[in-house]
Structure 1
Amino acid sequence: MQVARNHPRCGVCGAKLVKNGRTTAGRTRWRCKTCGASTTRTRGDITRRAELGAFQAWLLGPTSQAATGGTGRSFRASTSWCWNIPAPQPVVTGEVDEVLMLDGTYLQDWCVIIAFNGTHVQGWQWCNQESKAAYQALLTRLPAPDMAVVDGGQGVAAALHECWPDTLVQRCYFHIFQTVTRHLTMNPRLEAGKQLRALTVALMRVTSLDAATEWTRQYLAWEAEWDAFLKHRTYAGKHRERPVGIGECVQWWFTHRDLRRCRALFRSLIRREQLFTWLAFDPPRPRTTSPLEGGPNKAIKDLLRVHRGLPPDHARRAVDWLLNSLTEHPHDPWQLARPEHWNPPVRTRQTTEEPLGPQPGTSFSWEDGNGLQKGWAGRSHR
C-alpha cells in the first residue's frame, strides 16, 4: 500500500502547510502562511496498521480483548473492519511434496479439508461435507505428491483416482484401528473376532517389509480358517429381530456381519496396495494422519475454544487466518488491506413508494363485509 507523503496542503485555500510547533498531546501542528489556518494531520495508514496488528495478535493468541489495552468494547469498535480482509490461499510454487496428509475437520455445519505435508499447511477447502467435489477443488490446486495419507472416505478416494492417478495411497492406521474397533468392540465375544483384533493390534507394530509379509501371511491364514464360519446365515422368523438395515422383504442375512465388514476392509486394502505403501520409501513415510490431527486440526479446535461464541462467518475467517499462519510463507495481512475494508460502501435500504389515495378496486365497500361487526370476535367477557 502506498504511504501518504508528508507534504500536506491547506484545506481552506490549498496552499502548502508548514510546521508550527506541537500540540499539548505531542502532535505536529501545521499552519498555512496564506490564510493563517492551523491544523493537525492524522496518519490513517499507521493507525490502521496498528489496529490490524493488534487484531491478529488477539485472534491468533491466548490474550483477551481487554488485555490489548483499553476495554473490550473499544477494541471491537476499532478492529471491526479487520474481519473484512479475506485470507488468501497459499501460493503454489510447483514444488512436489514427498507426502501429503488429507483430512477434514468439522465445525458445526461446515467442514474444512486440509492438505498438510507434515510441517506446513499446503492448502485448504471449505465445504459442507467431505465429498468428491470438495476434494477435487483442493487437489486441482496442488501438484500431485509421491504419496497421500487418507482416512479412507469415499470422496477422497474418488478424487484421488481422478486428480492424482499416479500418486500412491496409504490408508491411515489409526482410522483402520478405529473402524475395526467400531465393528468388533474392544473385547470381541467370538474367537474369530478375538483373533482378528489381535491381528489389527499387531499391524500397528509392523515396521519393515519382512514384518509386513509375515502379517499378510497370518491374515490370509485367518481368512482360510474362518471362511466357512463367516458364511453362516440367519433366516427371518416370526419373533426374530432384524438387524439394522435389513428390510422386511429380506428372507436371510449373514450372521456375522461385523466380521465380514472387517474382512472386506482388509481385503480392499491388500488388493489396492494401500496397507504397506509407507514402507516402499527409504526412509519410511508417515502411516497415519496424526501429525495433521495433532497439528492444524487441534489448533483450529483450540482457536474456536478460546474465541467461543464467534458468528459463523467470523469463525471461518478466523480459521482462514490461522491456517495462513501455518503455511510455509504466510501472507502479510497489511499487504492485503484495502481502503474498502475499513470504509465499506454504505448499504441503503431500498423502499418502494406506495401511491397515495385509494386505487381502483381497493376503496372501502360495504359489499366486502367491511362494515360494523357485532359480537365479541373471540374476546372473553370480563
Structure 2
Amino acid sequence: MHLDEDYNRSIPWIRKQIFEYEPVEKTHTPRAVVIVCDATFYGKKKDKLGTLIFKDILLGEVLIWKHVQSELAKDYKQLLQRILDLGYEVKAIIIDGKRGLYKALRDYPVQMCHFHQKKVIQRYMTMHPRLEAGKDLQKIMYNLTSTTQTIFTNKLNDWHEKHKYFLAERTINPDTLKESFTHQKLVSAYRSLKTNLPYLFTYKKHKKIKINNTTNAIDGGVFSPMTRCPLRVKSYSKYTMDLVKV
C-alpha cells in the first residue's frame, strides 16, 4: 500500500495526517451478542505486533479490541470480561481453537471454526495424502460441514478402530534410542479432532442461537484490510481503531 500514490500527496503530508488524526471514541449498545473472536498479526513473527478482536455476528459490529504481542488465553478472558462489564449478554462464542481457550470460555457455548479445523488436518496430512489411513480420514473431513455430531463421531471411531494398529506403530531413533510414533502426523490429526469434537457441532446443538460454524466474519471482513495497512508507522493503533469500527 502506497498512500502517497493513492491520495496523490507527499509523504510528509501523509505522515502529518496520520499523527494528527484522532479517531472518534466508540459507543456501546449493550445487548445479547454472539461473538466471533480471533487475532491477526502484522509483519514478521519477531515483530510481535497483533490485534485481538471481538465481533458480534448478529449485527456485524466489532465490539472491542486489544493490541497483543502474542495470542494468549488471558487476553481473551480479559476482553470477555470487559464485554460483560459493558453490559453485553454473551450467547455463544466462535473461535479457531487456540490452546487453552476452551477452558477459558467454558461458561459459554463454544463453536470451533470448521475452516481452521480442516486447515489443521490438511497441515498434518497435506491435500493429497498417500497413506490409506490418511485418505480415509480425508473422506471423513469432506463431510464435516454437512453431517451431524453423531455420524461424524461414529465415522471417526470406525476409522480409528480400522487403523489403530497402524497408528500405534513406533520407530526407535538410532541416535537417541527414543521411541516415537511412526505416523506421528496422522496421530496428531486424530488427536486434534478428538480434542475439538465437543465443539465442532455447537451451532447445531443451539439452533435457536445464530451461531456461525467458521470465523470468516472476522477473518475476511475485518482482518483482510488491517493486514494491508502500512503499520510500520508509530501510530498504527489509529489505523486499527478506524478499521475495526464496523
Q: What range describes the TM-score normalised by the shorter chain of this pair?
A: 0.7 to 0.9
2:99 is the counterpart of 1:154: yes
- RMSD over equivalenced CA pairs, Å: 2.5
Report the counterpart of residue 54 of structure 2 in structure 1: 115
AA of the residue aligned to 1:133: K
The 3 A distance-change label for structure 1 pair 63 and 267 is same
Percentage of pairs with the same residue = 24
The 3 A distance-change label for structure 1 pair 77 and 265 is closer
Counterparts of 2:214 and 2:227, CA distance in 1: 20
2:166 is the counterpart of 1:229: yes
Mapping of residues 139-288 of structure 1, within 5 Å: 139-143=80-84, 145-160=90-105, 165-206=106-147, 211-237=148-174, 248=176, 250-270=177-197, 273-282=198-207, 285-288=211-214
In structure 2, stretches of 5+ residues that fail to align are: none
Counterparts of 2:83 and 2:227, CA distance in 1: 25
Report the counterpart of residue 103 of structure 1 in structure 2: 38
> Which secondary structure state, in structure 2, belongs to the residue aligned with residue 177 of structure 1?
helix
Counterparts of 1:315 and 1:158, CA distance in 2: 32
The 3 A distance-change label for structure 1 pair 155 and 104 is farther
AA of the residue aligned to 2:38: D
**Structure with the greater alpha carbon radius of gyration:** 1
CA contact (8 A) 1:125 1:137 kept: no
> Which secondary structure state, in structure 1, belongs to the residue aligned with residue 111 of structure 2?
strand
CA-to-aligned-CA distance 1:36-65 (integer Å, 9 cap, x gap): xxxxxxxxxxxxxxxxxxxxxxxxx99844
Counterparts of 1:263 and 1:174, CA distance in 2: 16
AA of the residue aligned to 2:151: E
Mapping of residues 75-90 of structure 1, within 5 Å: 75-76=13-14, 79=17, 82-83=20-21, 85=22, 88=25, 90=26
CA contact (8 A) 2:4 2:14 kept: no
CA contact (8 A) 1:92 1:142 kept: no
> Which secondary structure state, in structure 2, belongs to the residue aligned with residue 94 of structure 1?
coil
Give the drift of 1:188: 0.9
2:215 is the counterpart of 1:289: yes
AA of the residue aligned to 2:203: W
With the length of structure 2 as denominator, give the TM-score of the two structures: 0.84
> Which secondary structure state, in structure 2, belongs to the residue aligned with residue 182 of structure 1?
helix
Give the drift of 1:75: 4.3
With the length of structure 1 as denominator, give the TM-score of the two structures: 0.56
The 3 A distance-change label for structure 1 pair 253 and 93 is same
> Which secondary structure state, in structure 2, belongs to the residue aligned with residue 129 of structure 1?
coil
The 3 A distance-change label for structure 1 pair 63 and 87 is farther
CA-to-aligned-CA distance 1:307-364 (integer Å, 9 cap, x gap): x3x543222211112213x1xxxxxxxxxxxxxxxxxxxxxxxxxxxxxxxxxxxxxx
CA contact (8 A) 1:92 1:141 kept: no
Give the drift of 1:81: 5.7
> Which secondary structure state, in structure 1, belongs to the residue aligned with residue 207 of structure 2?
coil
Give the drift of 1:121: 0.5
Aligned residue pairs, count:
233
AA of the residue aligned to 2:239: A
> Which secondary structure state, in structure 2, belongs to the residue aligned with residue 167 of structure 1?
coil
AA of the residue aligned to 1:312: V
CA contact (8 A) 1:130 1:155 kept: no
Counterparts of 1:147 and 1:194, CA distance in 2: 34
Give the drift of 1:86: 5.6
Counterparts of 1:219 and 1:78, CA distance in 2: 58
Counterparts of 2:71 and 2:94, CA distance in 1: 15
> Which secondary structure state, in structure 1, belongs to the residue aligned with residue 71 of structure 2?
coil
AA of the residue aligned to 1:235: I
Greater RCO, 1 or 2 (C-alpha within 8 Å, sep 6+): 2
> Which secondary structure state, in structure 2, belongs to the residue aligned with residue 147 of structure 1?
strand
2:10 is the counterpart of 1:72: yes
CA contact (8 A) 2:38 2:96 kept: yes
The 3 A distance-change label for structure 1 pair 264 and 62 is farther
CA contact (8 A) 2:56 2:62 kept: yes
The 3 A distance-change label for structure 1 pair 294 and 114 is same
The 3 A distance-change label for structure 1 pair 142 and 63 is farther
